[in-house]
Amino acid sequence: MPSPGGKRRSPGAGRELVIRSARELFARQGYGGTSLRDIAERAGVNESVIYRNLGTKEQIFQAAVLDPFHGFVASFVGRWREIPERRSNEEMVRSFIYELHDLMSQHRDSIMALVSVSGMEDVRGQITARVQFNDELDALAAQTEADGQGRGLAGDLGMGVRMSVGLVMSLVLLDDWLLPMGDRRPDRTELLDQVSRFVVGGLEYGGATAARD
């Protein structure tokens, strides 16, 4: 279906429009409440075009919601491995927290869509999405554990990664509820520096406790 005004969209622009439309609908209506027809109507294209070029609703969910996080993980882990000098715990965690907060803020609709998956009735789709998301968290955890030797860290570093992701996710989704109002509200730097110190402190406390034991 041509775009309004008779101008034909480029394939890339059309695909991005469908993905953006799907992300918005998943966030607002949930996965189970969104159909391919809903996505097609919002994007202004034929349903058959979506199915032919992007696949099933599960595959669209992957492209719209999970791919941004996958790109972040791959990029962050790749750059982490290529740094010639080992960074301090504070630098490592601060970089992770800041980049993750940027990603989740830019893709807030994606995070809302992930929340919607938790209660959707399509059990197969839910399991698929959870497996994919957990694979990404496992990749971050594996790199953290590989880099954690000799840092004075101990305990389940993989769980530390997951809790850090959950903390940032909650701040992005519920910032108006969790943060003080008015003049007491911290700016971005104050907030993320505090989160970084909290995460580093927890990881180093675990290491010190393990050393005493």
Q: What does the pLDDT read at residue 2?
A: 46
pLDDT digits (tens, 9 = 90+) for 84-112: 777 788 888 899 899 999 989 998 988 88
pLDDT digits (tens, 9 = 90+) for 120-134: 555 555 667 778 888
User: In tens digits, what is the pLDDT along the chain, a chain of 213 residues?
Assistant: 444 444 455 556 678 899 999 999 988 888 888 999 999 999 999 988 888 888 888 889 888 888 888 888 888 888 877 877 777 888 888 998 999 999 899 989 888 888 877 655 555 556 677 788 888 889 888 888 777 766 767 667 888 889 999 999 999 999 999 999 999 999 999 999 999 999 888 887 755 554 555
* Three-state SS sequence of the chain: CCCCCCCCCCHHHHHHHHHHHHHHHHHHHCCCCCCHHHHHHHHCCCHHHHHHHHCCHHHHHHHHHHHHHHHHHHHHHHHHHHCCCCCCHHHHHHHHHHHHHHHHHHCHHHHHHHHHHHCCCCHHHHHHHHHHHHHHHHHHHHHHHHHCCCCCCCCCHHHHHHHHHHHHHHHHHHHHHHCCCHHHCCCHHHHHHHHHHHHHHHHHHHHHHHHHC
Nearest CA-CA partner of 163 in 186, 193, 185, 140: 140
Q: What does the pLDDT read at residue 97?
A: 93
The position carrying tokens 């893709």 is 107
Q: Which CATH architecture has domain 57-212?
A: Orthogonal Bundle (1.10)
Token duo for residue 212: 């005493």
Q: What does the pLDDT read at residue 212?
A: 54
Distance CA 166, CA 169 (A): 5
What is the pTM assigned to this prediction?
0.78
The full set of domain ranges for the chain reads 57-212
Q: Which amino acid is at 29?
A: Q
